[in-house]
């Protein structure tokens, strides 16, 4: 993997050996920038400050390099949601603890996870799934079964409240049955992606309390799921410590086993700052920029859920033009390959310019396709700071910081 100091330096430097033929020796195809030091910093933050066990939600970014970085930084548990993710993590990190947290699984996947890869923790939200787990594991006596309950996503930017989770009228019977089939019983939930207030977890934990009281069972694990946010334009959340404090207080107040464990499944919060993307402007049409990555590449969320990512024009010397709002079109022939933004960039941006799109470590690269023949890109390791961060107070050993604060742009 090629290495460089910064996005700006990369966009303006000879780069033919890493990318291929390029005008003025600059990259023609999109370039993914990875920042291992940013992932290490996020992992250390959760390991040191979350009052329980943090297990990385692999779906956010399944890069084997990232998995190794997180492991080396103290993340030992991994939330896997498919047999493909089970195999990937088992192969990459053979000593890791895997938790199969998708509530609806193929019976064959459960059996392989249990008998081949040593998975002992499974989530479920129906009696049918419980029966499936029992059959697939041949009524194993060493299972940790986590019953997923449905909670509100109203305080999160992306809802996860409709597809999974046992409702209030279903949890009593399910918790009781899972208690009989398990060595350890857990309750899990997911408040949605990018939770903007710690109250999301307080409300969910109250729902957990009511479920425990109603079922009158001993609970050994409380898994608060994911939803821990990162910082994006227009979405600057409170410090993560506030989330941890709210979760800890609610956990301590629950009627649970004295030895009960607290788990979380951070995905976005561990990897969003890990990577960004350099794209080239191929054409400008008024306030619309045609760039060489888009909805079928790393900018899926920007296109389909209106996510605004931080952007920066990579030009030396810097433009002195005032910022204006732009939208992006990606490289495919599909009209849906459109990112409305607004993305704030200098008004004199033009074809041939390079733009860094930040905070794409979560879901960006993971959802990339090769639709319409696009999608080939290089990966370069850089050592500068990500475009935004929630981890300022974590010691960093990767050189001086040049973090650009969201909101500081025009």
pLDDT in tens, 282-320: 999 999 999 999 999 899 999 988 889 999 999 989 999
Determine the distance from the C-alpha atom of residue 52 to the mean position of all C-alpha atoms in its chain, rounded to a whole number. Answer: 19
Helices (H), 137-188: 171-181
Predicted confidence band at 233 (pLDDT cuts at 50, 70, 90)?
A: very high
User: Closest Cα to residue 280, out of 305, 307, 315, 310?
Assistant: 315
pLDDT given for residue 408 in this prediction:
27
- For a pLDDT cut of 90, what percent of the chain falls above it? 75
Residue 186 has pLDDT above 80, yes or no: yes
- In the chain, where does the domain assigned CATH 2.40.37.10 lie? 2-35+274-382
Q: pTM of the entire structure?
A: 0.89
pLDDT given for residue 8 in this prediction:
66
β-pairing verdict for 323-329 and 288-291: parallel
d(CA 226, CA 264) in angstroms, rounded, equals: 6
pLDDT given for residue 368 in this prediction:
85
H/E segment holding residue 339: strand 338-346
Predicted confidence band at 405 (pLDDT cuts at 50, 70, 90)?
A: very low
Residue 356 has pLDDT above 50, yes or no: yes
Tokens 């992006």 belong to residue: 328
**Is the distance from CB of 108 to CB of 131 less than 8 angstroms?**
no
Residues linked to residue 77 through DSSP beta bridges, in sequence order: 55, 97
Residue-wise burial string across 289-320, b where 16 or more C-beta atoms lie within 10 A, e elsewhere: bbbbbbbbbbbbbbbeeebbbbbbbbbeeebe
User: Closest Cα to residue 214, out of 179, 182, 186, 175?
Assistant: 175
Mind listing the pLDDT tens digit for each residue in 111-142? 999 999 999 999 999 999 999 999 999 999 99
- In the chain, where does the domain assigned CATH 3.20.20.10 lie? 51-265
Overall average pLDDT of the 346-375 stretch: 91
User: Closest Cα to residue 312, out of 374, 194, 233, 391?
Assistant: 233
CATH architecture designation of domain 2-35+274-382: Beta Barrel (2.40)
Rg (CA), the chain: 22
Mind listing the pLDDT tens digit for each residue in 162-172? 788 898 889 99
- What is the CATH number that goes with domain 51-265? 3.20.20.10
pLDDT given for residue 404 in this prediction:
29
Alpha-carbon torsion angle 40, 364, 233, 356, nearest 10: 90
Overall average pLDDT of the 350-371 stretch: 91
Predicted confidence band at 370 (pLDDT cuts at 50, 70, 90)?
A: confident
d(CA 378, CA 74) in angstroms, rounded, equals: 28
37 Cβ contact list (under 8 Å, min separation 6) = 383, 396, 397, 398
Residue 243 has pLDDT above 90, yes or no: yes
């Amino acid at each position: 993997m090629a290495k460089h100091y910064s996005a700006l330096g990369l966009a303006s430097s000879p780069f033919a050996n890493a990318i291929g033929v390029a005008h003025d020796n600059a990259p023609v195809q999109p370039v993914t920038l990875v920042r291992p030091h940013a992932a290490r910093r996020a992992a250390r933050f959760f390991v040191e400050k979350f009052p329980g066990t943090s297990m990385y939600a692999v779906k956010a970014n399944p890069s084997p390099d990232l998995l190794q970085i997180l492991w080396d930084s103290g993340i030992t548990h991994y939330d896997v949601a498919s047999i493909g993710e089970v195999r990937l993590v088992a192969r990459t990190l053979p000593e890791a603890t895997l938790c199969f947290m998708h509530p609806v699984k193929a019976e064959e996947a459960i059996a392989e996870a249990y008998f081949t890869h040593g998975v002992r923790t499974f989530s479920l939200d129906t009696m049918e799934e419980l029966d499936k787990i029992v059959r697939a594991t041949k009524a194993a006596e060493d299972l940790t079964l986590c019953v997923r309950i449905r909670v509100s996503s109203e305080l999160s930017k992306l809802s996860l409240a409709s597809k999974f989770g046992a409702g209030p009228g279903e949890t009593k019977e399910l918790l009781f049955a899972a208690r009989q089939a398990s060595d350890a019983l857990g309750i899990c939930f997911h408040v949605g992606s990018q939770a903007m207030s710690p109250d999301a977890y307080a409300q969910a934990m109250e729902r957990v309390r009511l479920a425990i009281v109603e079922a009158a069972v001993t609970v050994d694990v409380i898994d608060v799921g994911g939803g821990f946010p990162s910082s994006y334009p227009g979405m600057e959340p409170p410090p993560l410590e506030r989330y941890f404090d709210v979760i800890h207080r609610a956990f301590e107040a629950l009627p649970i086993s004295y030895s009960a464990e607290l788990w979380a499944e951070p995905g976005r919060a561990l990897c969003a700052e890990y990577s960004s993307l350099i794209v080239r402007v191929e054409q400008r049409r008024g306030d619309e920029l045609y760039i060489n990555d888009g909805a079928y590449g790393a900018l899926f969320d920007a296109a389909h859920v209106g996510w605004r990512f931080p952007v920066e024009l990579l030009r030396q010397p810097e433009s002195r033009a005032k910022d204006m709002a732009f939208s992006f079109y990606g490289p495919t022939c599909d009209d849906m390959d459109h990112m409305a933004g607004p993305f704030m960039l200098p008004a004199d941006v033009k074809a041939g310019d390079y733009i860094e799109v930040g905070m794409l470590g979560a879901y960006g690269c993971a959802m990339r396709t090769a639709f319409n023949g696009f999608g080939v890109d290089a990966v370069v390791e850089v050592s500068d700071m990500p475009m935004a961060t929630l981890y300022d107070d974590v010691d960093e050993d990767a050189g001086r910081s040049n973090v650009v604060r969201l909101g500081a742009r025009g």
